[in-house]
Amino acid sequence: MVELDRKESITLLTGVSMGRVGFTHQALPVIRPVNHLVNDDGDIVIRTHAGAALLATASASEVVVYEADQIDEATHTGWSVMITGTASRVTDPQALSRYRTELTPWINTEMEHVVRIRAEFVTGYRLETTPSPP
């Protein structure tokens, strides 16, 4: 495993559209798959529906984690990036309009809410193969 710097980690996240958000719901850890985009500040932006458990966390600006990866199971190579930071609802009308246009949900449900996860801590690793000894 090779540790990645912040810039390379954010660049890798920009190249994929799906990951997992982890947060606390009713005092228990929860992980949900979601599609995302990375904004100009390197923060993760997702859309969600009115009844989503994540909205309670985002309303309280609690710490969450976001993880995405690309792993080749045949070669055991790839990368994994984790963002840890506070989640908050996006309320600025201009930002809401932009994100609703740029981020199309993968599921056929009204996803009227937008949540931003601040990239406060960024951890990334690349899995590489090591050459066999001669």
Q: Is residue 26 part of a domain?
A: yes
Count of the separate structural domains present in the chain: 1
Residue 6's domain spans which residues?
A: 2-127
Instruction: Summarize the confidence of residues 1-21 as an average pLDDT.
Output: 95
Q: Is residue 132 part of a domain?
A: no
Q: Is residue 10 part of a domain?
A: yes
DSSP letters of 17-84? -EEEEEEEETTEEEEEEEE-EE-TTS-EEEEE-TT-HHHHHHHTT-EEEEEEEEEETTTTEEEEEEEE
pLDDT tens digits for 97-120? 999 889 887 777 777 889 999 999
pLDDT tens digits for 32-87? 999 999 999 999 999 987 778 887 777 777 899 999 999 999 988 999 999 999 99
Report the pLDDT value the prediction gives residue 21, as an integer from 0 to 100.
Answer: 94
| Residue 21 belongs to domain with CATH number | 2.30.110.10
